[in-house]
Structure 1
Amino acid sequence: MAGIYIHIPFCHRKCAYCDFYKTTDLSFKSRFIDAILKELNQRKDFFQGESINTIYFGGGTPSVLAYHEIELILEKIGNLFVVKKNAEITFEANPDDLTPPYLKNLSETPVNRLSIGVQSFFENDLKMMNRRHNSIQASKCVEDAFDSGFENISIDLIYGLPGLNIDSWKTNLYKAFLLPVDHISAYHLTYHKGTWFYDLLKKGIIKEISEDDSIAQFEVLIEIAIKNGFEHYEISNFAKNEMYSKHNSSYWFNEKYLGIGPSAHSYDTKTRQWNISNLEKYFRFIESEKVFFEKEILSETDKFNDYIITRLRTKWGISEQQLATSFGIEKWNFLEKNIQPYLTNRYIIEKNGAFTLTQKGMFIFDKIMEALIFVET
């Protein structure tokens, strides 16, 4: 199983929390489409004939694309790679872009999964985050998408916002679970350097919510999700009827992926690669067929640490058999020793041949990672 990620770096406006590479200058869009088609051609041998199981349009804001541009990109991928007939093709979108006419056109493309950036159903939250959509659009776009034939719909929510109390967060969740969605990604706000929220925090204009409030909002999220028939399958992700994100799951299961577009990352199990995070340089390098990405060859320690970090986040956990067969006795002894305090205190449990986080273990995931990451001496 392998996947392709397409980074669409355009946004109508910059959100207060987002640190992904992006630009609000849409005048480059046509040149950008030409560039990613060229990049796809230059990278056509990346998978060596291996089948593509997932394609993911992320950003930025992919919904700035017209439907014929989406079809052009997917047609190019289909001509260059072996794409499975039932491949999951995910398209990130903003609620304000998902008008009925846009959804009708989008439904006629091969896109079969939507990931909608709702973030909140409250007007004040949306304004604070500098989102373009309003609270009515937040709900209506999901219903319109379902009515347009999209049955695999995910929405994003953000909690831990300045001033967000537990009752407001519960209301957000109740509204979310009334919608025709089978997947929800809910992320705690992170103050990334270079974002508006980070600057406001440093100036003392806003302040972070308390750790107790953060934990309470996370607990409520899990409780309400489970009551509504959703499975908590990764720290930030919930799915009903096993409608997991296949693309994101490929990251957690050590599958190959190719990243297309500025700032996109690629992984072939032996190396990590990342494209240049500058649109003008990206154009110049692609058009002159120069190398436009950096590459890191992964050591066995890198692979071990990546495995621990990604798998422990999920319900599948760290496989004891895979640890023993893939990483050798030294890494196994290290993990067995360092994981013991977390097993004793039930932050982690051992079940069916795997180590998995408990709910209280999820609260201290970063601390656990510090203990389980192997450092060469």
Structure 2
Amino acid sequence: MAGIYFHFPFCRQACNYCNFHFSTQLKHQEKMLRGFEKEIELRAEQWPDALDSIYFGGGSPSLLTPASVEKLINAVTKNFKLGESIEITIEVNPDDVSFEYLEAMSTIGINRLSIGIQSFLDSELKLMNRIHSVDQGMKSIEWTAKLYENFSVDLIYGIPSSDLSSWKKNLNQALFFEAPHLSIYALTVEPKTVLAHQVKNKKIQLLDEDLVKSQYDWMVDRMEGAGYENYEFSNFSKPGFNAVNNSNYWKGKAYIGIGPAAHSYDGKRTRSWNPSNNIKYLNSIQQGILPAQSEILNTHDAFNEYLMTSLRTSWGVSLKIINQTFGKHYSDYLEKQVENHLIDQRVYWDGDALKVTKKAKFLTDGIASDLFLLKN
């Protein structure tokens, strides 16, 4: 099985923390959609496997009309084999949608929504330069819950000026709606963003890392108590509602990226990516040429990437998979390298799977990098 990810590179305005590729020149949307359709045709012969996920991300794909989304779904259906229980997700901003819009999406094949709430505090939304209000956010969830069994709410913690109390209010408000899935990310300072400029010029002070850790640790406990599985560092789901798109990525399965800046992976060693430039992308596609650059991961880098992605998950790092994929030398290395973390109770063995302990979850990426096999 494989998945398709559409990167729709348009937004009404930039969020202060975002470094994704996008444009606010909305008049070029139609050209981009035609480019998507052409890239689908060009990609089809490369991917014989059936699809179990179609994901519309961005950018702000909720700027698209239901008719435009339906046209893209039809193009995928025409050119690819679809799995019987395919998950089709679209990311939506609360300010873009109405009940009628969400209802129309449910009739064209969309069976999962990811709602970009980020915060239930207007002051935090303003700080992040989000367009929607708290009221719009809550209405969008209420409408979604009436129309969709499967949906996700996005939140951000570690926001400047927040504390543990305000974060508790935020998360508890999200849990009130009983969404079957939540994606909850720490605010990070990415290069060349407004937030990075604000931090550099001391207009905004980032939270102390201990406070961010307290927010994360409390969140993990609260979500577990509410019946959610922390199946990946930043993702929580009720039983049966793990996101297929997310899970495919963390399990190293194949995926196809459509659109500018979109990435693809063949499920083995080859990664490719389209240019982060709308004009270059369209010029190439219109000539019938895939604009992607690619690289083949060597065994060393593929092993490190497997450690990084798998250690973040509830299923952990499998010695069996390492032996089968990379060889016994790599599993022997890992068993030796992990000894100090076992002594410190940061990780543990669950059968042949290496997993992070609950108390050390916030440190997961650091633990993974410490386990990397370094080049001589």
- Residue 208 of structure 1 and its aligned partner are, at CA, apart by 1.0
Q: Which amino acid aligns with 1:347?
A: R
Q: Is the 8 A contact 1:18 1:195 kept in 2?
A: yes
Q: Is the 8 A contact 2:217 2:362 kept in 1?
A: no
- Residue 196 of structure 1 and its aligned partner are, at CA, apart by 0.8
| Other structure's SS at 2:145 match | helix
Question: What residue is the counterpart of 2:20 in the other structure?
Answer: 20
Alpha-carbon separation, structure 2, partners of 1:83 and 1:313? 29
Question: What residue is the counterpart of 1:355 in the other structure?
Answer: 354
Q: Which amino acid aligns with 1:109?
A: I
| Other structure's SS at 2:204 match | coil
Q: Is the 8 A contact 2:273 2:292 kept in 1?
A: yes
| Other structure's SS at 2:156 match | strand
| Other structure's SS at 2:154 match | strand
Alpha-carbon separation, structure 2, partners of 1:34 and 1:45? 19
Equivalent residue in structure 2 for 1:185, among 183, 186, 210: 183
Question: What residue is the counterpart of 2:115 in the other structure?
Answer: 116
Q: Is the 8 A contact 2:311 2:368 kept in 1?
A: no
Q: Is the 8 A contact 1:300 1:327 kept in 2?
A: yes
Question: What residue is the counterpart of 2:148 in the other structure?
Answer: 150
Alpha-carbon separation, structure 1, partners of 2:13 and 2:88? 25
Alpha-carbon separation, structure 1, partners of 2:26 and 2:42? 24
Work out the number of aligned pairs and report it: 375
Alpha-carbon separation, structure 1, partners of 2:216 and 2:207? 13
For residues 211-266 of structure 1, what are the alpha-carbon distances to aligned partners after superposition, in whole Å with 9 as ceiling and x for unaligned?
11011100111121112111111110110123101111001112110000000000
Point out where structure 1 has 5 or more consecutive residues left out of the alignment: none
Give the % identical residues: 38
| Other structure's SS at 2:245 match | helix
Q: Is the 8 A contact 1:119 1:157 kept in 2?
A: yes
Question: What residue is the counterpart of 2:337 in the other structure?
Answer: 338
Query: Superposition pairs for residues 60-79 of structure 1, below 5 Å?
Result: 60-79=59-78
Q: Which amino acid aligns with 2:84?
A: K
Q: Is 1:159 aligned with 2:134?
A: no
Alpha-carbon separation, structure 2, partners of 1:84 and 1:25? 35
Q: Is the 8 A contact 2:181 2:242 kept in 1?
A: yes
| Other structure's SS at 1:111 match | coil
Q: Which amino acid aligns with 1:183?
A: H
- Residue 290 of structure 1 and its aligned partner are, at CA, apart by 3.1
RMSD: 1.1
Q: Is the 8 A contact 1:46 1:258 kept in 2?
A: no
Q: Is the 8 A contact 1:98 1:145 kept in 2?
A: no
Question: What residue is the counterpart of 1:228 in the other structure?
Answer: 226
- Residue 77 of structure 1 and its aligned partner are, at CA, apart by 0.1
Q: Is the 8 A contact 1:276 1:292 kept in 2?
A: yes
Alpha-carbon separation, structure 1, partners of 2:16 and 2:208? 20
Q: Which amino acid aligns with 2:13?
A: R
| Other structure's SS at 1:364 match | helix
Question: What residue is the counterpart of 2:240 in the other structure?
Answer: 242
Question: What residue is the counterpart of 1:196 in the other structure?
Answer: 194
- Residue 134 of structure 1 and its aligned partner are, at CA, apart by 0.3
Change (3 A) 1:40 1:146: same
Question: What residue is the counterpart of 2:133 in the other structure?
Answer: 134
Q: Is the 8 A contact 1:122 1:135 kept in 2?
A: yes
Q: Is the 8 A contact 1:142 1:180 kept in 2?
A: no
Alpha-carbon separation, structure 2, partners of 1:278 and 1:360? 42
Q: Which amino acid aligns with 1:312?
A: L
Q: Which amino acid aligns with 2:15?
A: C
Q: Is the 8 A contact 2:120 2:170 kept in 1?
A: yes
Alpha-carbon separation, structure 2, partners of 1:329 and 1:320? 9
Q: Which amino acid aligns with 2:223?
A: A
Alpha-carbon separation, structure 1, partners of 2:12 and 2:138? 20
Q: Which amino acid aligns with 2:339?
A: Q
More off after superposition, 31-40 vs 293-302: 293-302
Query: Superposition pairs for residues 191-340 of structure 1, below 5 Å?
Result: 191-268=189-266, 269-340=268-339
Q: Is 1:98 aligned with 2:97?
A: yes
Alpha-carbon separation, structure 2, partners of 1:118 and 1:130? 12
Alpha-carbon separation, structure 1, partners of 2:374 and 2:224? 37
- Residue 360 of structure 1 and its aligned partner are, at CA, apart by 2.6
- Residue 325 of structure 1 and its aligned partner are, at CA, apart by 2.3
Q: Is the 8 A contact 2:16 2:195 kept in 1?
A: yes
- Residue 105 of structure 1 and its aligned partner are, at CA, apart by 1.1
- Residue 376 of structure 1 and its aligned partner are, at CA, apart by 2.9
